[in-house]
Structure 1
């Protein structure tokens, strides 16, 4: 057990504890191999580890407690884990809803072992908060597709890696955790729209940055007693968020950032900073840049690499 309990009710509260995982010890040596594992370019594990250490250091410098779950694994599990090339994308593995942790289900078989490893570890850390899934459910739900807007609403994408069945199985637990609405959107299935956090992200307590095409998509709003449809902007507005629509963007570095606290964002060095300078609610934000370009070649960004366990 750890000495704290999980607590997350938003994406923008002060981050106190986060789970990470160091990248694997394998290289992805050439473009053909990268394409076969759905990465954009070859990756050298030494450079990836250098990126990771800079990333980890930036979080710690900001006062965030960092837990690398790979360091806690038993020797036999660790040997396998070190060969799992996607294991540093910990956001997908689980999510803290209020005071409980719900485990995810991998959307592709390549990632299933890391889910098992992480879940076993989190269950040891938080025996009273970790809610296990039924065995062998096979109902995919990767939490890169989930954004906690605030204490009332959760936003979920069903698409490439998350199924409507997975959401259906989880929704009762989310309501029981204290949330009153779940908004479900069904975005296009492509490498550029793989998860919800590759399409939108909370950038302020009252602002969501989103790709402009999302304005055309309806949201299926679920409550404990009923359901209805709203357009994306209507759903966000009703929960206190302005939508900041982006017409031009580089998906991973521009959208996949992390809120360290209400005034500070952790961003990639490849991010177009003018995105933040153009909006009045973001012009005074403190932007901390880190070099994660080697890790980003794997198809995800800073948010994908972090699993917040506690926000103030």
Structure 2
């Protein structure tokens, strides 16, 4: 993993037009040093279960190791922080869930805005680091001036034409409206907006569905009942979720029974042939569709990290694919 030494001089390429091309560079952040030692505290901080941070750190190190063995450059942004900033950052219990902080659309990086005040410090700190990495034409920090709440666990870049966004508990429709002009300028022609139930188990889009390949989308079956507002520069229309995804080349594998929401849905594509999944994931979900049967499933134990309410996708922010 990238160390702090020489960090300021590093240059990273930005290139993400989908969720499944070969992952080349990804940002992560190691878990907090604070222990969440009992169930009541976990409930109070909106985590699923108590977390042993020593185990969580071992889980995270193993996840990073697996990605590096696959040829991915893994960068821990916390190693770029000043001593003073790090003293705070390492006590932020959600800091490992970096997916929400920002997102690469094509060749630009857009900032997010925390949907809960508890997470605001890590957004502020990480965005300052991103400003060191990228010039103002690549990292559009000013784009978050009008954002109220936009966490990128709610966002999926389907292909060069379409972006899929959930305006739910952590992402506001007003924030999407403030950002949509940048997405059209980046080259995307459509933004599909869905409004999923506002519950802990449906907090983000990637806790409900995920791209599992260039032509397959895995989703909880209830999503088939939801319409999608399709926005274009010249107007809008409505389509059902399945129809929207089908039109953009995705067959949808509707899943009726999910035992472990995060483990089963929150996976990461390492390349078009390989998916990084949790050891707790139900591998039978990948056995029914003919394309998914051919996928190589690489398992990594992230059980302790998942107790914090996020999974592998939540803990990885791709900078470069393809």
Deviations 1:68-107 (Å, cap 9, x if unpaired)? 0000100000000010000000000000000000000000
In structure 1, the partner of 2:83 is: 75
Q: For residues 295-306 of structure 1, what are the structure 2 equivalents within 5 Å?
A: 295-306=305-316
- Maintained 8 Å contact 1:5/1:126: no
Q: For residues 47-58 of structure 1, what are the structure 2 equivalents within 5 Å?
A: 47-58=55-66
Deviations 1:26-84 (Å, cap 9, x if unpaired)? 00011110000000111111111000000000000000000000001000000000100
User: Aligned equivalents of 2:199 and 2:76: distance in 1?
Assistant: 30
In structure 1, the partner of 2:101 is: 93
1:199 and 2:208 aligned: yes
Stretches of 4+ aligned residues off by more than 4 angstroms: none
In structure 2, the partner of 1:190 is: 199
- Maintained 8 Å contact 2:33/2:91: yes
What is the deviation of 1:136?
Answer: 5.8
Deviations 1:194-240 (Å, cap 9, x if unpaired)? 00000000001000000000000000000011001011011001100
Number of matched pairs: 312
User: Aligned equivalents of 1:228 and 1:217: distance in 2?
Assistant: 14
Counterpart selection for 1:244 from 253, 257, 281:
253
What is the deviation of 1:3?
Answer: 2.7
- Maintained 8 Å contact 1:90/1:307: yes
- Maintained 8 Å contact 2:170/2:203: yes
RMSD of Structure 2 on Structure 1 (CA)? 1.0
1:40 and 2:85 aligned: no
Counterpart selection for 1:14 from 22, 25, 28:
22
TM-score when normalising by structure 2: 0.95
What is the deviation of 1:135?
Answer: 6.8
Any gaps of 5 or more consecutive residues in structure 2? Answer: 1-8
- Maintained 8 Å contact 2:111/2:144: no
User: Aligned equivalents of 1:33 and 1:137: distance in 2?
Assistant: 33
What is the deviation of 1:5?
Answer: 1.9
User: Aligned equivalents of 2:17 and 2:230: distance in 1?
Assistant: 19
User: Aligned equivalents of 1:135 and 1:3: distance in 2?
Assistant: 23
What is the deviation of 1:2?
Answer: 2.9
What is the deviation of 1:139?
Answer: 1.0
1:269 and 2:302 aligned: no
